Structure 1
């Protein structure tokens, strides 16, 4: 990564200590910080310390660290907030530096409603139902195995 890219990335600035963040947990490869636009109290972002735009471009050691830290943060959230569930998901389109959202969720909150709606869409849409047919599943499996 060049210095221009690093300076334009807020997560790189946080990792380097040049930007403020509430650090929750870290190891040699990964940092967990509170999200400044939280979905719920305790919403945490888990980021690799190395600038990598997409999580599938991380090396094996970074992937292991990223998910180990996400698990540790999830355990902290369960202990501190007693949520119904801790949701984790990767997004990264707005800030092109791999990050995992780790969010305590509660029945009826914004993420619970979103994921329930998404699951309803997944289970009910005719176009998506076609993807569950055995022939399409077998085709997808063959395609992925050959990739």
Structure 2
């Protein structure tokens, strides 16, 4: 496995840095975003270093999609959102410099993108509870 020790994404996905893991397997690590758009906002990172989607090998790409499906099901059951947004930013818009996918529960009436940083104190305060609930539900669904 290729890990770049200078890459924050590699350090997060391989738990060299602390993360709130809700699911992992040999290919991916899924954890709560530290700047969540909504409670349950989860990031899926491959454990190997990749920058953009076209670099992924088939096994890792499949693992990412399967994880996104599982997390989406769990988020729907846990938070009853109006929808789920699944997205990734590539190239210069990839602020982590490591491929990652966002899985975000969404609610009607909330804007998706804001120029100003969202006040997410409530979501951050519930990290441990959210992590535990989401992790348990994902285990049930897997």
TM-score of the superposition, structure 1-length normalised?
0.70
The answer to whether the 8 A contact 1:39-1:110 is kept is: no
Task: Find the aligned partners of 2:74 and 2:9 in 1 and give their Cα distance.
Answer: 22
Task: Mark the runs of 5 or more structure 2 residues left unpaired by the alignment.
Answer: 114-142
**Residue in structure 2 matched with residue 96 of structure 1 by the alignment:** 97
- Which of the two has greater helix per residue? 1
The answer to whether the 8 A contact 2:2-2:49 is kept is: no
RMSD: 1.6
**Residue pairs, 1:64-75, within 5 angstroms:** 64-75=62-73
Task: Find the aligned partners of 2:29 and 2:2 in 1 and give their Cα distance.
Answer: 21
Equivalent residue in structure 2 for 1:24, among 22, 25, 28: 22
State the Cα distance separating 1:56 from its structure 2 match: 1.3
Task: Find the aligned partners of 2:111 and 2:29 in 1 and give their Cα distance.
Answer: 26
When Rg is computed on C-alpha atoms for both structures, the one with the higher figure is: 1
Secondary structure in structure 2 of the residue aligned to 1:65: helix
Aligned length: 110
State the Cα distance separating 1:23 from its structure 2 match: 0.2
With a CA cutoff of 8 Å and minimum separation of 6, indicate the structure with the bigger relative contact order: 2
Task: Mark the runs of 5 or more structure 1 residues left unpaired by the alignment.
Answer: 115-147
TM-score of the superposition, structure 2-length normalised?
0.72
Task: Find the aligned partners of 1:72 and 1:39 in 2 and give their Cα distance.
Answer: 19
